[in-house]
Every structure is written in structure tokens, then in C-alpha cells.
Structure 1
């Protein structure tokens, strides 16, 4: 384990428990996405997401359930959605969850589409593609967190999308990670250790009003 205080963990910390939290959070993302249907309002989807997490036996959420529809997929975590849109028959949405399972933080997010809009599907696919490329770059080079986001911007552009540079990833650990004051991944001047950092990728269509989001634990 890196001795940097930005990668500090508590006494309950377990790499196996972190992986369990990751698996459970991805299961929740898929369950929530499957329950979202055209005609549903964004606020309804967020409420339903919380109910599904309760049914799955989470300890608690550590950041609010965040589900965005349509143009709101361009907005960052800290920005409020505009209005309360209903999901269309040909539309795009993402699910972003921060959930505690067995005292460890899971954080996962992915983008989904309804209907057959080719560009929306391509955008959703590209968010995961860029994530995969950046994660592979981290594994092969051991570069800093800051360098990872420089690489992410070049890969997004190469695929025809714009990277939202305000989204830069963050720490996770045994709950709560916030006590460690680690800063964001995009500002980390050292190589991030496995199992402690969330790589977030948010991209935007170059001309149309939608984007896509994907995040997962770097392992």
C-alpha cells in the first residue's frame, strides 16, 4: 500500500471488501437501469433507485443517487438537473451510485439508451471505451492521476467526443473516505494505487445536447 496520506485507509479496510462493494454497486446499477422506462420522470427514477438500493440491503448511500435524462447528461455531479424531464422513446440516461456495503464504499456509473438513436448509443459506448483505454494506460505505464486525465482528453478527442475536464475522479475506501482529504484523481501527482481510486469519464457529443458517463474502481 502506498504510504502517501492521500491513500490512507481505516482499520476495517479490506481489498476483498472493496471488491465486494464494487460488485454489489454494479449489480445495483444494472438493476436500476433495467427498471427505468420511457415516460418515467427523472425524479421518479431517482426515487426508484433509492428504493432498489434499500431492497438490495445496502448499509447506506455515501453520495446521492444520481440519474440524469437527456440534456441533463451534460451536467456534472454538483450541478442540479434542469427541470424534471421525462425519458423519451429515443433517449439517453446515466446512473451514478455511491453505496456502502459492509462498511466499504462502492462507486459505479454507466450510460444507457432507449430506442435506436445511433449517435446516443455511440456516445454511451464511447464513455466505456475511453474508460477502458485510460485504465489500461494506467496499468501499463503507472503514470500519475493528472497524466491519466491528460490521456483521457486525447482519447476522447480521437474518438470524436469532448471530455468534461471538470470531472476528475476521487478516492474511495472503508467509509468514510472523506476524512483522508485526498483531493481528486486528476490532481494526483503520483501513480494511484489499485483499489483506492475511482476513474470518472464524462464525455459530450460535439454538436448535440447530450453526453455520457462511465466510472469504476481502478483495479
Structure 2
């Protein structure tokens, strides 16, 4: 498949609409994170997510909304949560949302910590730090998606964390992006265009059973 085919968009695609969808999805992430509290079940947080999205006027979701607590932060998108854990007083959770706004796909995710567990806090901070460093590397070098994930793995190892290379980012666009069959960002052998690709970072603690996740639009 050619690079042009992998970066195709529909006739309704507008970059400013992608930016709006991105920002609106982050509004949901941030509002929801402020409502998640110790004692809440993972399923209760997921139900709360639906209320926040509806209140903000979402058009629809384009992928299932995920809220992962505790050890479930090690799960990939395609893996089901184990049980329905209750958030502890010192705990970690992440939110991963894919929402359509004005016909364009927003996709955002971040990790949050309740309590004062220093390693959990460091894990959440590191996931975002890795995203920021890889995004900056993309801006500076204009390198391929493959090279971006090579760099992400290198930096994660330097910082003492394990990068989950089963998570390699993906396309977004005017809905539905799936018709363009672009594959993962980590397998894309060209420079990703602005506003079309989600960079995903998922890391795991080297010895303890938790991880962190962060994703955003390369823009």
C-alpha cells in the first residue's frame, strides 16, 4: 500500500475540525478524571464517562470508552479488564476515549493517580514525558512512524520502564477513518502527516503490576 493511500482523507476532512475533536475529547478526559475517586468501581467510572460525553454533546463514539483501574492499566486496548476492581486510596487509573465531534474523530488518553504512591506518580508522569519527547522528535526530524517507536523504546529503557510495543498508534480522520486501511503508526515507513495519526505510549513498571498510558494527536 502506498504512503498516499495510507494517509488518505475523506472529502469532508478539515484540519481545524480534527483539532476541535481533539480538544473536545480532552475536555471529557479531564472532566471525567476529576470525578473518579477511591471506592468507585471501574464499571461506575465507565458509566460516568457516558454521562460526561453526553453532557458535552458528543456525536457518537468511534471506539469503546475505556477506564482501567490498578492492574488493569497493564491491559492493551483489545484486552478485557479482569473483574470490576474498586479504586483504592493509593491507586492508578487511565482513560482512553475515541469520540466523534462534527464528523471528525477525537482520540485522547491519559493516566491519573489517587493518593501518594511515588512510583505510580512517576509512571503516569513518564508516560506523558515519553509522548512529549517522541512528538518533539517527530517535529524535529520528520522521521517515519517506525523510527518514532524505535526512539520511544530506547527512551523508555533509558528511563527504566518497559514500553508495550503491541501498542503502536493508529490513523484518525473524518469518520470513519477505517475505510483508509492505514495500519499502525509504528509500522508506517514514512513521516506521519499532521492531524492524521495518534501516537500511543503504554509503559509498565519493571516489577510492580501497573502501568500507564498516554495518547494524543500528532499535530
Common fold: TM-score over 0.5: yes
CA distance in 2, matches of 1:179, 1:18: 17
- What residue number does 2:173 align with? 173
Detail structure 1 runs of 4+ shifted over 3 Å in the superposition: none
- What residue number does 1:10 align with? 10
What pairs with 1:134-213 in structure 2 (closer than 5 Å)? 134-213=134-213
* Count of aligned pairs: 218
What pairs with 1:74-113 in structure 2 (closer than 5 Å)? 74-113=74-113
CA distance in 2, matches of 1:115, 1:157: 26
CA offsets per residue over residues 6-41 of structure 1, 9 Å max, x none?
A: 111111110000000011001110001111111000
Gaps of 5+ in 1: none
Gaps of 5+ in 2: none
CA distance in 1, matches of 2:164, 2:190: 22
- What residue number does 1:55 align with? 55
Shift of the 117–203 alpha-carbon distance from structure 1 to 2, 3 Å rule, reads: same
What pairs with 1:105-124 in structure 2 (closer than 5 Å)? 105-124=105-124
CA distance in 2, matches of 1:36, 1:156: 28
- What residue number does 1:28 align with? 28
CA distance in 2, matches of 1:102, 1:3: 27
CA distance in 2, matches of 1:155, 1:193: 23
Deviation (angstroms), 1:47: 1.1
- RMSD between aligned residues: 0.9
State the SS of the aligned residue for 1:4. Answer: helix
Deviation (angstroms), 1:202: 0.1
What pairs with 1:61-80 in structure 2 (closer than 5 Å)? 61-80=61-80
CA distance in 1, matches of 2:189, 2:3: 14
CA distance in 1, matches of 2:157, 2:44: 34
